[in-house]
């Protein structure tokens, strides 16, 4: 199925099923409700086939270009059916499993993620390693049946909902840096795992701390080879900055549209509105080119840091404009719409922090794209 | 359409031509290379390669005349010169009154030698191109901040029109904006390259200044600005609506100023002298930004249109 055919068919299906797919109006104030909505939409889209196109047949997909996944997330976001942040875990973790899991494991597990039967999380960051991922210390040691894991993760999105975790562990010496890391696929109901959600500024407990106390993980749950964890992590990041980023761009487009519709006359400055649209257009143009490179089978790398910088900057610009145009509601309103704007405005403050901070992205651009040499 | 090999050969020829010559000599070199035939056959390749190279080498030609002429309509003499709107403007520069026109605008250095000048004016719901004798126009060579650009200021009152023809101004404007955006991106890449090389070579406190994060982040910021403009340009060709051309021009103009600011700071003392080439590019991008709409004015107009519609346009589908 090509993109045009997919687009037309999906749009028709979304129109026909609009009633059944629609979210409860109260969905935005509750992460539980958002997760239930996400599962519902994924299940319906999977059963109708839309969620399966663009994925390989060996993991339950129907094949075809990954571009159609870009359009699926765009369409679901544009119709306000899913929040792009929680939807993005599918686009980030399924390719990792396809590339690195033992084939039988991928064939069993990926369909559950695509269908919304399961939620997965990504255990990378630790209290001592925010930007410096290679320094992580959550330790996995070999035993007769596989691995025993002890340590702590933090900023793990959706951990309290997750059935599985793609977990990055230290299997080498503490000094082995990026060479001594191994990725594991861990069942979140394993004895010894404790999840503690973090209360954040924007009011939704999206992130958690996760504690591992001598957790047993079978050996066949190793993703890639022992010591290959850094490759798993590095290959995952471009996915975060390709299809998921396209979805997030579509979401920002939609929110800017809402700002324009909702702001009272005179509240918005024309130059500021033009500037934000210009930023979104640059993001869309760049992300579109990245999507097309991905679809052509190119290996994405450091150049996606440019996409990430454009996204983070544009996201904050959209919600800065929302604050300008809807100040009364964002700051003082107690209705549901105002609460949603407020939550999203506050969440946008983190856009330059999560997924590789703005500074890290610029370091990567300097080192890898401009070839400026070492920074010390 | 050129295939990859032809394209590469053509790119190389254009790089040599723009690096070695400028002004009338570059026009002659473009004639020898058959650039205007390429423009008709594969406008995207011809425009992106020539104007990108022109920006990188800070050379000049009158190719912008031809880009606008080709888009304006079929009945115009191919060797005519075109009067562009004044700095910062993008509405047509002429006003038609019966069989004569009033005009105020800018043109390339060749206008005085041409047999004909094209002055576009609004007419009813559309636009009309009036053919006038350049001898009937007041032409003032512009020195300004970038004397090497070699443009002229054009003025005329009640200038007789030898003939008129319908003119596709909206399309011609978009074509010209794309060309200028390529030139701005080329110049931006040149400035960034100069700053990058200096940062790697210049030693202070016992190490290259490229080792300092403050310097690295400036250059990274500059690259993001260039890549954003370049992506918008590709989008401007993929989805060639008037709006995407204006957006590309705005991003290229804004990006060039961002790059100029960071490159100037990184190049510091040497970049402030005329011994270094940076100033040539800084001057150039400031004027190119103004041609066919500067970034600030285009952005404001875009915002005004969005506020009038209260709805975002759907452009650039995946």
Nearest 5°: the CA angle A361, A367, A371 is 140
Whether A277 sits inside 8 A of B306 (CB atoms) is yes
pLDDT digit string (tens) for B260-296? 999 999 999 999 999 999 999 999 999 999 999 999 9
Q: Is A229 helix (H, G, I), strand (E, B) or coil?
A: helix
- Sign of the CA dihedral with B50 first, then B56, B58, and B59 last: negative
**Beta strands B100-108 and B151-160: pairing type?**
antiparallel
Please tell me the distance from the alpha carbon of residue B20 to that of residue B27, in angstroms, as a whole number.
12
Nearest to B307 among A270, A282, A361 (CB): A270
B228/A365 Cβ within 8 A: no
Distances (CA, A) of A161 to A42, A110, A156, A340: 16, 17, 11, 22
Nearest to A285 among B221, B231, B311 (CB): B231
Asked if the C-beta of B216 comes within 8 angstroms of chain A's C-beta atoms, the answer is: yes
Rg, Å, chain B Cα set: 20
Grade residue B313 by pLDDT with cuts at 50, 70 and 90: very high
Tell me the chain A residues in contact with residue B211 when contact means C-beta distances shorter than 8 Å. 372-376
Contacts of B51 (CB under 8 A, 6+ apart): B63, B179, B180, B182, B183, B186
Query: Does B300 reach chain A within 8 Å, measured CB to CB?
Result: yes
Q: Tell me the nearest-neighbour CA distance from A291 into chain B, angstroms.
A: 8
Per-residue pLDDT band for B86 (boundaries 50, 70, 90) equals very high
Mean pLDDT of B82-101: 97
Active site residue A83: no
Assess contact for B35 and B28: CB atoms under 8 A: no
Q: In whole angstroms, what is the distance from residue A66 CA to residue A21 CA?
A: 23
Tell me how crowded residue B176 is: count the other CB atoms within 10 A of its CB: 26
At A210-252, the pLDDT tens digits run 999 999 999 999 999 999 999 999 988 888 888 999 999 999 9
A182 with A124: CB under 8 angstroms? no
**A21 to chain B, closest Cα gap in Å:** 23
Q: Does B308 touch chain A (CB under 8 A)?
A: no
For the stretch B118-151, pLDDT in tens is 999 999 999 999 999 999 999 999 999 999 999 9
The pLDDT of residue A240: 85
Nearest to B200 among A285, A373, A375 (CB): A373
- Name the catalytic one among A91, A126, A206, A240: A240
- β-strand A139-143 against A181-187: which pairing, if any? unpaired
Residue of chain B with shortest Cα separation from A272: B303
Name the fold adopted by A241-369.
Answer: Butyryl-CoA Dehydrogenase, subunit A; domain 3 (1.20.140)
- Asked if A281 and B247 come within 8 Å (Cβ–Cβ), the reply is yes
Between chain A and chain B, the number of residue pairs with CB atoms below 8 A apart is: 140
What residues of B are in contact with residue A372 (Cβ under 8 Å)?
Answer: 196, 199-200, 210-211, 216, 219
Give the Cα separation of A10 and A71 in Å (integer).
9
Closest CA to A201 of A327, A317, A347: A347
Q: Which residues of A touch B250 (CB under 8 A)?
A: 278
Summarize pLDDT for B16-67 with one digit per residue, the tens. 999 999 999 999 999 999 999 999 999 999 999 999 999 999 999 999 999 9
Residues in B closer than 8 angstroms to A275, CB to CB, are: 299, 303
Strand pairing partners for B122?
B127
- Cα three-residue angle B132-B137-B140, rounded to 5 degrees: 140
Report the C-alpha gap between B147 and B41 in whole angstroms: 33
Of B229, B304, B309, the CB nearest to A270: B304
Give the best residue of A54, A370, A374 to mutate against chain B (max B CB count within 10 A): A370
Q: How many CA atoms lie within 13 A of A247 on its CB side?
A: 29
- Which residues belong to CATH 2.40.110.10 in chain A? 121-227
The CATH architecture annotation of domain A3-118 reads Orthogonal Bundle (1.10)
- Does A257 sit within 8 Å of B312, measured CB to CB? yes
pLDDT tens for chain A, 376 residues long, are 899 999 999 999 999 999 999 998 888 889 999 999 999 999 999 999 999 999 999 999 999 999 999 999 999 999 999 999 999 999 999 999 999 999 999 999 999 999 999 999 999 999 999 888 899 999 999 999 999 999 999 999 999 999 999 999 999 998 999 999 999 999 999 999 999 999 999 999 999 999 999 999 999 999 999 999 999 999 888 888 889 999 999 999 999 999 999 999 999 999 999 999 999 999 999 999 999 999 999 989 999 999 999 999 999 999 999 999 999 999 999 999 999 999 999 999 999 999 899 999 999 999 999 999 998 7
pTM score: 0.96
Q: Do A261 and B304 touch (CB under 8 A)?
A: no
Which of A278, A365, A374 is nearest residue B251 as measured by Cβ atoms? Answer: A278
Which CATH number applies to A121-227?
2.40.110.10
Q: How many residues does chain B have?
A: 318
The ipTM assigned to this model is 0.96
The Cα-based distances of B309 to B45, B90, B302, B303 in angstroms read 35, 21, 11, 10
| Interchain contact B315–A (C-beta under 8 A) | yes
CA distance B299 to A122: 40
Classified as helix, coil or strand, A200 is coil
| Whole-number Å distance between alpha carbons of B81 and A222 | 69
């Amino acid at each position: 199925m090509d993109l045009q055919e997919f687009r037309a068919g999906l749009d028709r299906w979304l129109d026909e099923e609009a009633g059944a797919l629609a979210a409860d109006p109260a969905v935005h104030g509750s992460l539980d409700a958002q997760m239930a909505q996400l599962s519902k939409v994924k299940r319906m889209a999977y059963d109708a086939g839309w969620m399966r196109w663009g994925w390989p047949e060996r993991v339950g997909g129907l094949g075809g270009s990954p571009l159609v996944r870009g359009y699926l997330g765009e369409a679901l976001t544009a119709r306000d059916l899913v929040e792009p942040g929680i939807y993005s875990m599918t686009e980030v973790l399924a390719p990792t499993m396809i590339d690195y899991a033992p084939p039988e494991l991928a064939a069993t597990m990926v369909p559950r993620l695509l269908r919304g039967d399961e939620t997965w999380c990504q255990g990378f960051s630790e209290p001592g390693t925010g930007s410096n991922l290679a320094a992580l210390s959550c330790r996995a040691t070999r035993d007769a049946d596989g691995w025993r894991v002890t340590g702590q993760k933090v900023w793990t999105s959706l951990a309290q909902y997750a059935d599985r975790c793609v977990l990055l562990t230290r299997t080498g010496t503490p000094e082995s840096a990026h060479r001594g890391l191994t990725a594991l696929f861990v069942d979140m109901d394993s004895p010894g795992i404790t999840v503690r959600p973090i209360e954040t500024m924007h009011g939704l407990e999206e992130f958690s701390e996760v504690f591992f106390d001598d957790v047993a993980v079978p050996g066949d749950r190793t993703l890639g080879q022992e010591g290959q964890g850094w490759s798993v992590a590095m290959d995952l990041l471009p996915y975060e900055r390709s299809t998921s980023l396209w979805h997030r761009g579509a979401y920002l487009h939609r929110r800017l549209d809402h700002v324009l519709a909702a702001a009272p006359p005179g509240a918005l400055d024309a130059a500021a509105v033009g500037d934000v649209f210009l930023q979104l257009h640059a993001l869309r143009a760049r992300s579109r080119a990245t999507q097309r490179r991905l679809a052509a089978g190119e290996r994405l790398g450091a150049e996606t840091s440019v996409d990430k910088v454009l996204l983070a900057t544009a996201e904050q610009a959209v919600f800065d404009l929302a604050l300008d145009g809807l100040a009364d509601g964002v700051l003082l309103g107690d209705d549901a719409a105002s609460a949603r704007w407020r939550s999203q405005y506050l969440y946008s403050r983190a856009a330059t922090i999560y997924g590789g901070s703005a500074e890290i992205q610029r370091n990567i651009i300097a080192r890898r794209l401009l070839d400026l040499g070492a920074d010390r | 359409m050129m295939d990859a090999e032809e394209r590469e050969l053509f790119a190389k020829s254009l790089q040599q031509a723009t690096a070695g010559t400028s002004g009338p000599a570059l026009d002659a070199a473009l004639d020898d290379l058959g650039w205007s035939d390429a423009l008709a056959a594969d406008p995207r390749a011809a425009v992106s390669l020539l104007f990108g190279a022109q920006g990188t080498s800070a050379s000049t030609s009158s190719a912008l005349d031809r880009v606008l002429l080709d888009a304006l309509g079929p009945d115009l003499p191919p060797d005519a010169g075109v009067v562009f709107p004044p700095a910062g403007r993008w509405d047509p520069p002429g006003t038609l009154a019966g069989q004569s026109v009033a005009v105020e605008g800018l043109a390339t250095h060749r206008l005085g030698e041409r047999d004909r000048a094209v002055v576009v004016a609004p007419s009813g719901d559309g636009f009309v191109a009036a053919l006038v004798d350049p001898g009937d126009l007041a032409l003032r060579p512009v020195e300004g901040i970038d004397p090497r650009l070699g443009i002229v200021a054009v003025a005329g009152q009640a200038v007789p029109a030898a003939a008129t023809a319908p003119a596709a101004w909206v399309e011609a404007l978009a074509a010209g904006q794309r060309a200028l955006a390529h030139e701005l991106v080329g110049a931006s890449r040149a400035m960034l390259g100069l700053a990058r090389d200096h940062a790697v070579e210049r030693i202070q406190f016992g190490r290259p200044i490229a080792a300092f994060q403050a310097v690295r982040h400036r250059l990274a910021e500059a690259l993001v600005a260039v890549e954003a403009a370049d992506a918008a340009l590709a989008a401007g060709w993929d989805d060639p609506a008037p709006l995407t051309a204006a957006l590309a021009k705005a991003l290229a103009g804004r990006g060039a100023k961002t790059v100029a600011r960071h490159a100037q700071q990184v190049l510091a003392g040497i970049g402030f002298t005329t011994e270094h080439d940076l100033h040539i590019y800084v001057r150039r991008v400031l004027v190119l930004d103004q041609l066919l709409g500067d970034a600030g004015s285009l952005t404001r107009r875009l915002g005004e249109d969005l506020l009038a519609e209260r709805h975002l346009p759907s452009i650039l589908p995946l």
